[in-house]
Chain A
Amino acid sequence: MTLEFHLWGQLREAAATQSAKLDFPEGTTLEAALQTLTKEYPALKPRLLNEDDTVRSSILLFQDGQQLSADALQQAIEKEASFTLMSPIAGG
């Protein structure tokens, strides 16, 4: 199955792309998919993952316009899906 990731904030700059598509076996968890994403785009890793490869709590995750809770990271994905990832930004 193909998963698509739309990147916002510093993630977009780090990956030098606004979206990425990768193929995964069915049943992959979102966290495992994001770990794979950082292997394809290594500059994403420090912004997306903690040192233990868990996803940073400050990353906003969305699917179909709805925010996902941290629990969603461990749920198996069974079909093609599109996710939006946002890193925190502020004013100035």
Chain B
Amino acid sequence: MLTDRQKAIYEWQMWVPDVGEAGQEKLSEATVLISRCGGLGGLVAYELAAAGVGKLIIAHAGNVKLSDLHRQLLMTRDWVGKPRIESIQRRLNELNPDVTIQAVPENIHDDNVAELVSQADLIVDCAPLFEERYLMNREAVRQGKPMVECAMYELQFQITTILPGMSPCLACLYPETPEHWKRQFPVFGAVSGTVGCLGAMEAIKLITGIGEPLSGKLFSMDLRNMQSLTTQIQRNPNCPICS
């Protein structure tokens, strides 16, 4: 049951058709795993906290660097040199103290991925390294958890939603670790923010059941010229992960 205070906070989004109190209760009962929580994941987490998602599991290692600050909006200048996860937790709790934040001060790896995925209803993959993305994909498929895939480069971004058994998984799309992808790349914070908000909206749609998720579709956009493209993506019948 929502309290009167919660109803007051969330009433604008509860006015969205097919959301209502029932949709808001679904959000408040949901747990979302976000990894990592930098430029892209930070916006996913911020929007989901604002929307009243009940619990966020955030996995992100390392200390705040100067080069984080242009896009990682949950990091603050006074926290440079200190753990990113503490800045993330503080900023999310300032926004919405009702959200439970499970702060994991490490990135996704082989020893923690199964446990973290098992605690979540869905995953939002915002990691820069394909090794981490493949691990989350493997566990999402194995445990039957939806996963929103967000990616960016320069002024471009891509997003798709993986529904295990129904739509292509990450390994269907990229069977081999991309050799030329590097952790550091050109991007603006407004690009990571744009796709982060789209990723949050995909998560909200999956939790509340409104709209149509980007399952089996890849949405791409180049903000340099506002060119956008929605393409149909296919499952790989020989995929070692999901087939």
Interface residues of A (CB under 8 A from B): 8-10, 12-13, 18, 46-47, 56-58, 60, 62, 65-67, 69, 84, 86-92
Contact between B156 and A65 (Cβ–Cβ < 8 Å)?
no
Contact between A8 and B234 (Cβ–Cβ < 8 Å)?
no
Contact between B178 and A88 (Cβ–Cβ < 8 Å)?
yes
Stretch of B25-33, B109-117, B145-153 at the chain-chain interface: B145-153
A57 to B180 Cα, complex, angstroms: 13
Q: Which residues of B contact A12 (CB under 8 A)?
A: 154, 156, 222
A92 to B178 Cα, complex, angstroms: 16
- Which of B158, B175, B231 sits near A57, CB closer than 8 Å? B175
Interface residues of B (CB under 8 A from A): 36, 38-41, 71, 125-130, 133, 150-154, 156-158, 173-181, 183-185, 187, 192, 218, 220, 222, 225, 227, 229-234
Contacts A46-B180, A89-B152 known; list 7 others, CB within 8 Å. Answer: A10-B181, A57-B175, A65-B231, A67-B232, A90-B151, A91-B127, A92-B183
- Which of B151, B184, B218, B232 sits near A91, CB closer than 8 Å? B151
Contact between B133 and A90 (Cβ–Cβ < 8 Å)?
yes
- Which of A8, A56, A60, A91 sits near B173, CB closer than 8 Å? A60
A9 to B175 Cα, complex, angstroms: 17
Q: Given A91-B125, A91-B150, A92-B192, decide whether A65 and B130 contact each other with a Cβ distance below 8 A.
A: no
- Which of A56, A67, A69, A89 sits near B153, CB closer than 8 Å? A89
Q: Which residues of A contact B38 (CB under 8 A)?
A: 91-92
- Which of B127, B175, B220 sits near A86, CB closer than 8 Å? B220
Contact between A66 and B232 (Cβ–Cβ < 8 Å)?
yes
A84 to B178 Cα, complex, angstroms: 18
Contact between B174 and A88 (Cβ–Cβ < 8 Å)?
yes
A-B contact pairs, 5 of them (CB 8 A): A9-B153, A18-B227, A60-B233, A88-B181, A91-B151
A8 to B228 Cα, complex, angstroms: 11
A18 to B227 Cα, complex, angstroms: 10
Contact between B185 and A92 (Cβ–Cβ < 8 Å)?
yes
Contact between B130 and A90 (Cβ–Cβ < 8 Å)?
yes
A66 to B229 Cα, complex, angstroms: 11
From B39, which residue of chain A is reached at the shortest CB distance? Answer: A92
Q: Which residues of B contact A57 (CB under 8 A)?
A: 174-176
A92 to B225 Cα, complex, angstroms: 22
Q: Given A9-B153, A13-B154, A92-B39, decide whether A87 and B178 contact each other with a Cβ distance below 8 A.
A: yes
Q: Given A91-B125, A92-B40, decide whether A65 and B181 contact each other with a Cβ distance below 8 A.
A: no
The list of the 7 closest CB pairs from A to B, nearest first, reads A92-B128, A91-B126, A89-B153, A88-B178, A89-B151, A91-B40, A58-B178
From B124, which residue of chain A is reached at the shortest CB distance? Answer: A91
From B230, which residue of chain A is reached at the shortest CB distance? Answer: A65
A47 to B181 Cα, complex, angstroms: 10
A87 to B177 Cα, complex, angstroms: 12
Q: Which residues of B contact A60 (CB under 8 A)?
A: 173, 218, 231, 233
